Amino acid sequence: MTSELYTPLPLRSGQVLGNRIAKAAMEENLADEGQLPGRRLITLYRRWAAGGTGLLITGNVMVHAEALTGPAGVVLDEFAPLEPFTAWAEAGKAGGGALWMQINHPGRQVQAGMPGVVWGPSDVGVDLGRHSGRFGRPVAMTPAQIEATVTRFALTARRAEEAGFDGVEIHAAHGYLLSQFLSPLVNTRTDAWGGSLENRARLLLDVVRAVRAAVSPSFGVGVKLNSADFQRGGFDAEDARRVIEMLEPLGVDLVELSGGSYESPAMTGRPADKRTQAREAYFLDLAKDLVTTSPLPLMLTGGINLRGTAEKVLDSGVSLVGIGTALSVTPDLPRRWREGREAGRRLRPVSWSDKALASAATMAQVRHQMRRVARDRRPTPGTHPARALLCEQIRQRGALRRYRAWLGSSRRTEPAA
């Protein structure tokens, strides 16, 4: 008998995913010169494409060249040549699955020392205690900057379709810009984008409408949304329920549920709330609640390593299982599950008491594995987190020099609005 994991999933756009397993987005930080996808990303996604997922979702592709989560981020704007993205799309679809591009704007979550802009709904900075200086101080966006951001999302989506991607996922989770507007802790505006949840969701809904209008009806459009921020007084599960209802009439195919932010990094397995499960399927309890009223198919991501856990997620009514970290260590995990095998080794756990530093080290470990796979090497999940973090910091210094030079080149002629 075939597990439900391997049954097709039809979407509203007409796309049919080959199975119920997706590679969730993980930020690769592997851009080549010009902030473009190159050989490493192509190798990495060809490897994942052969691994048996029904859907691959890329890591962050930034819609604004002056606002990156990190200096090695990929940018797809009006100036970017399309050929590297076409090659990336071909590699990601080589195994027969669908490929969606995650599109994002970091808002205030921009590293200190980065050139460009640090924007937010308000001038509320990232609060990481003694680590708060890692991020730039944001300025509140003007209405013109908000409207320009909507246009950027739509343009990136249209160009993704032109490059051969099957869909986009709009990132409105993990404390990035759209998530910041949703949060009553970060969004203290008193105009049309602040106050009530309807106002705080306005930017996300405008982005979804603009993206859907810019692409063909058969192109997939998903939204990544926090099931909760896990901060007292922040965006919570009831807010998520209402936002999903707001998204339903806008032509969205799928909502991916995650949780947390840099301030409360539940998405890296360091939950700040008793409703997350510390080892597997962090947000399943919240998803079970949301799925009872959701008018849209839900995808759940967060700490899924075992086939039994994936099947438990589907049994809850969730339509699609998202796997992240486990695929950085075992790129062919869906194929292994089909053959009755599990993953080999797991990523070395980070047990540091400093949550912010532990979260950064965990993400560095994941990117270390992706870099190895991108060089056609075997993952080394036993790599010490301190070593992974140090190596990443050294690489980022070089990437920052290249990004500064690129951003200051004659290629960048767009206004800052």
pLDDT of 128 > 80? The answer is no
Q: How confident is the model at residue 87 (pLDDT cuts 50, 70, 90)?
A: very high
Pick from 159, 145, 162, 242: which is nearest to 197 by CA? Answer: 242
In a domain, 225, yes or no: yes
**Do 29 and 72 touch, CB atoms closer than 8 A?**
yes
Of residues 13 and 282, more confidence is placed in: 13
| Domain tally, the chain | 1
Q: Residue 276: pLDDT band by 50, 70, 90 thresholds? A: very low
Measured CA distances, 68 to 108, 131, 236, 393 (Å): 10, 19, 26, 16
Q: Which of 38-42, 78-82, 320-324, 350-354 has the lowest mean pLDDT?
A: 350-354
The CATH number covering residue 235 comes to 3.20.20.70
Backbone angles phi, psi at 75, to 5 degrees: -120, 130
Q: What is the pLDDT of residues 210-251, one digit of tens each?
A: 999 999 999 999 999 988 766 777 788 899 999 999 999 999
Q: What stretch of H or E contains 22? A: strand 21-23
Provide the Cα torsion 15, 340, 91, 360; round to 10°. 100
For residue 122, the one-letter residue type is S
Residue 343 pLDDT class (50, 70, 90 cuts): confident
Please provide the average confidence, as pLDDT, over all residues in the chain: 91
Q: What is the pLDDT of residue 303?
A: 84
Please say if the pLDDT value at position 49 is more than 60: yes
- Asked if the structure places residue 297 within a domain, the reply is yes
**8 A C-beta contact, residue 61 and residue 74:** yes
- Residue 417 domain-assigned? no
In a domain, 403, yes or no: no
Residue 364 lies in a domain: no
- Domain range for residue 57? 16-347
In a domain, 385, yes or no: no
Q: Please indicate, yes or no, if residue 407 is contained in any of the structural domains.
A: no
Report the SS3 class of residue 267: helix
- 3-6 contacts: CB < 8 A, separation 24 or more? 3/307, 3/311, 4/311, 4/314, 5/307, 5/310, 5/311, 5/314, 5/321, 5/334, 5/337, 6/338
C-alpha distance from residue 11 to each of 8, 326, 350, 392 (Å): 10, 25, 37, 38
Q: What is the reported pLDDT for 217? A: 98
Q: Please indicate, yes or no, if residue 44 is contained in any of the structural domains.
A: yes
Lowest-pLDDT range, 256-260, 270-274, 348-352?
270-274
Q: Is the pLDDT of residue 142 over 60?
A: yes
Please tell me the distance from the alpha carbon of residue 30 to that of residue 44, in angstroms, as a whole number: 10
Confidence of residue 364 (pLDDT cuts 50, 70, 90): very high
End-to-end CA distance of the chain: 56
